Amino acid sequence: MSLRQKYSSAKGLVKRRTHHGLRVRWLTLFVIILIAELVIAYFRIHDVILVISLHLNIKLDWIRGLETNCQDLGMHGAPVLPPQPVDGSSPLPLCPETPPSLLGKLNLGEDDENVKMPELLANLSWVGDGGRHKPSECVARNKVAIIVPHRNREFHLRQFLKAIHPNMKRQQADYGVFVIQQSGTDTFNKAKLLNIGYLEALKEGGYDCFIFHDVDLLAEDDRNLYQCADVPRHLSVGIDKWDYQLPYDALFGGVIAMTKHQFAQVNGYSNEYWGWGAEDDDMYVRILHSCLGLERANYDVAKYRMIYHPSDTNNRVNPYRYTLLVGAAERQRRDGLNNIRYNIVDKKRTALYTNITADVGKPPSKPNVSTFGTGIDIAISISLLLLMLSLSCCTCFKSRLMHVVLCPRRIS
Ligand SMILES: *[C@@H]1O[C@H](CO)[C@@H](O)[C@H](O)[C@H]1NC(C)=O
Ligand SMILES: *[C@@H]1O[C@H](CO)[C@@H](O)[C@H](O)[C@H]1NC(C)=O
Ligand SMILES: *[C@@H]1O[C@H](CO)[C@@H](O)[C@H](O)[C@H]1NC(C)=O
């Protein structure tokens, strides 16, 4: 060993490492950035795990943890909906918990029936203007708004109306049907229409329970009561198309019931889902993050028929749905009822429903998603880490070319 080498090896760790392998400074930077990224990932990973587990049908401990956490906080469940007050002036009693004239399993007939409007109107002449009705013999427990988003589905809408009105009447419901149609031919935004339905129905006053209902689902049993509870309820548990099984545990779409208070508490649906898919999963995330809990209706009666329909050309699968879903909890406070913008083009009370046509605007060319966790961020992080690693390892490289390309200065 030369004197010079002896001298430099005595100069301490940093210098010595430079000559024998790793560069401590770069390595430290590498470790710091790695830790920082892990911390960021940790705080965001909950949503990622949730999304993955949602669709792979894995009930991860984390979700259970979240639910328990909510219970520990004493936040499980929103206030129970009080029954409609029966004031002294009303001679009517509160309706019984189990309506007396339910039929049970229904005979729905052919599933491609072309329901004729004049005949339907004649049969349903007892339905009030704007598609309302209330029992005359008692005071209903909830005042229910049924919100049905729709575009170019008149054929299904007639079948839906034929089924829903007699059902609600047998259930002794005090209710109104609101059909929310999106104007124009831009990409469909179902979630936004549901928010609009909620807001517009509220303006009519008195509604405290909201049923968000797909137009193509027909209840097969009227014992599945369209009522709200102290937690958001999933009513379409079994659908014939899926052999009456939930396709994945976290499904929360089709037909759901939420009180006015619950829906406001989760800030409604997200407005950002243009096209088909995941807006209902987003609602599931919102409900979990708000510690509301949820319940499925009784499986034996919560059965539906899905009416066949060809897919809608203006409702294509939304390619951004998972990116949006990953940021669902993060967007919850600023995306929903509190930032919705729309114009009512037309609002009419027709014989069987309130027909609301709304201009919901145009989809953005790119959704306003958080840049964290998106592809480009991951790519940048990985390149940065690789660069740090190579710099810290400058003296490991045997090849001169690698030194020239990667190392800050050549090491001889
Ligand atoms: C009208 O009522 C009759 C008698 O109950 C029934 O046979 C018919 O299918 C109903 N038509 C429509 C369109 O609701
Ligand atoms: C609702 O009203 C709009 C505007 O008047 C009309 O174009 C549309 O056909 C109506 N929709 C239904 C389902 O009646
Ligand atoms: C996009 O999201 C950011 C928050 O990340 C928000 O401040 C901004 O207002 C949003 N822009 C639009 C057009 O919604």
Per-residue pLDDT of the chain (412 residues; tens, 9 = 90+): 454 454 444 444 444 444 445 677 777 888 887 887 777 666 655 566 666 666 665 655 556 566 666 766 555 544 555 666 667 677 788 899 899 999 999 988 887 788 999 999 999 999 999 999 999 999 998 899 999 999 988 889 999 999 999 999 999 999 999 999 999 989 999 999 999 999 999 999 889 999 999 999 999 999 999 999 988 999 999 999 889 988 877 789 999 999 999 999 999 999 999 998 889 989 998 998 888 888 899 889 999 999 877 666 677 888 778 778 877 888 889 999 999 999 999 999 999 999 999 999 999 887 766 544 456 567 777 877 888 788 777 777 767 777 777 776 654 4
Q: Is the CB of 9 under 6 A from ligand 3?
A: no
Identify the pLDDT of residue 411: 47
User: What is d(CA 106, CA 400) in angstroms, rounded to the nearest whole number?
Assistant: 81
Identify the pLDDT of residue 176: 97
Residues 6+ apart with CB under 8 A from 12: none
Helix (H) or strand (E) holding 212, with range, is: strand 209-213
336 alpha carbon – ligand 1 mean position (Å): 40
User: What is d(CA 47, CA 326) in angstroms, rounded to the nearest whole number?
Assistant: 5
198: helix, strand or coil:
helix
Is the Cβ–Cβ distance between 198 and 342 less than 8 Å?
no
Domain range annotation of the chain: 15-48+375-406, 104-359
Identify the pLDDT of residue 68: 65
User: What is d(CA 181, CA 178) in angstroms, rounded to the nearest whole number?
Assistant: 10
Identify the pLDDT of residue 248: 78
Query: What is the best residue among 346, 347, 349, 353 to mutate for testing ligand 2's pocket, by most ligand atoms within 8 Å of CB?
Result: 346
Is the Cβ–Cβ distance between 148 and 160 less than 8 Å?
yes
Both tokens of 268, joined, read 């409604």
Torsion angle in degrees (nearest 10) through CA of 295, 299, 305, 311: 40
Identify the pLDDT of residue 61: 57
Closest residue (by CA) to atom 11 of ligand 2? 355
Q: Is the CB of 368 under 6 A from ligand 3?
A: yes
Q: Is the CB of 179 under 6 A from ligand 2?
A: yes
User: What is d(CA 412, CA 409) in angstroms, rounded to the nearest whole number?
Assistant: 9
Closest residue (by CA) to atom 3 of ligand 1? 123
Query: What is the best residue among 161, 181, 344, 356 to mutate for testing ligand 2's pocket, by most ligand atoms within 8 Å of CB?
Result: 181
Residue type (1 letter), 95? C
196 alpha carbon – ligand 2 mean position (Å): 16
C-alpha distances out from residue 354 to 147, 167, 278, Å: 10, 18, 27
- pTM greater than 0.85 (yes/no): no
Is the Cβ–Cβ distance between 286 and 329 less than 8 Å?
yes
Residues 6+ apart with CB under 8 A from 348: 354, 355
128 alpha carbon – ligand 3 mean position (Å): 43
How distant is the alpha carbon of residue 228 from its chain centre?
A: 18
Cα–Cα–Cα angle for 324, 330, 333, nearest 5°?
110
368 alpha carbon – ligand 3 mean position (Å): 6
Q: Is 172 left (phi over 0), alpha (psi -120 to 50) or beta?
A: left
Instruction: Give CATH superfamily name and number for 104-359.
Output: Spore Coat Polysaccharide Biosynthesis Protein SpsA; Chain A (3.90.550.10)
User: What is d(CA 21, CA 396) in angstroms, rounded to the nearest whole number?
Assistant: 5
Residue type (1 letter), 131? G
State the ligand closest to the CA atom of 120: 1
Place of tokens 């080498």: 5
Torsion angle in degrees (nearest 10) through CA of 275, 219, 178, 92: -150
Is the Cβ–Cβ distance between 160 and 215 less than 8 Å?
yes
Is the Cβ–Cβ distance between 247 and 309 less than 8 Å?
no
152 alpha carbon – ligand 2 mean position (Å): 9
Other C-beta atoms closer than 10 Å to the C-beta of 234 total 20
Is the Cβ–Cβ distance between 70 and 291 less than 8 Å?
yes
Both tokens of 92, joined, read 């009517």
Residue 26, phi then psi, degrees to nearest 5 = -70, -35
168 alpha carbon – ligand 1 mean position (Å): 17
Paired strand residues for 238: 303
